[in-house]
Amino acid sequence: MDKLKHLLLALADGECLESAWNRNGFASLEEAAGAIRRAASRLDDAVVGVIREGSGFSRSGIGCVIIHVDGASRGNPGPAAVAAVAFTPEGEQLTSVARRIGKATNNVAEYTALIEGLRLACELGVQEAVFRLDSELVVKQMNGEYRIKNRELARLARIVTAEASRFKRCLFEKVPRQENKEADRLANRALDGG
């Protein structure tokens, strides 16, 4: 229990799970993610129990979000940026994030954008998230339709899997580029330094 407590404190301080698990006594990233899932499930059951007892406690926030993500790279590899935009299922924009990530390929930028989107959804405290992106490669790899041969993409896919394990339901959907305009705009604006 102490190692989970220390891990959760590290995460609360802003450390990433992929860098904190080993330092806090877990044998693998998967073991750490599993411990967090079990603790979250116990907490979720306790919250539901409080709600059922009619104590006046209620969950704040939204149960599900749609997050559009996009990565941009000029030069492939070249200067790169990522963006994630969260929407309610009804289409109301909630929040967004965009940042430069240095030099990267298009595919690394797309995976990094997805990780950014997963972390954004986690900050929103939702149980379910649908991630929409225009990268067929990333969607098919994350849905198990394509093998991941590139080592860097495999490393990023493991991070995506660990982050996705925080949710009760997490879907990855391919959308046409024109349906991903806001995330694309924000990623390019970040790339341009705006």
Q: What is the pLDDT of residue 186?
A: 97
Same-domain check for residues 141 and 164: yes
Q: Tell me which of 9 and 151 has the higher pLDDT.
A: 151
CA nearest to 71, candidates 166, 174, 164, 188: 188
Domain CATH code at residue 129: 3.30.420.10
Same-domain check for residues 85 and 174: yes
Q: 55 pLDDT exceeds 70?
A: no
Q: What is the pLDDT of residue 149?
A: 94
CA quadruple 36, 42, 44, 46: dihedral positive or negative?
A: negative
Residue 8 is part of which domain span?
A: 2-52
Backbone torsions φ then ψ of 72, nearest 5 degrees: -130, 135
Same-domain check for residues 121 and 94: yes
Question: Which tens digits make up the pLDDT trace of 148-172?
Answer: 999 999 999 999 999 999 999 999 9
Question: Which tens digits make up the pLDDT trace of 15-41?
Answer: 677 667 777 787 887 777 777 777 765
Q: What is the pLDDT of residue 14?
A: 64
CA distance 105 to 65: 28
Structurally, how many domains does the chain consist of? Answer: 2
What mean pLDDT do residues 106-130 have?
96
- DSSP code of residue 132: E
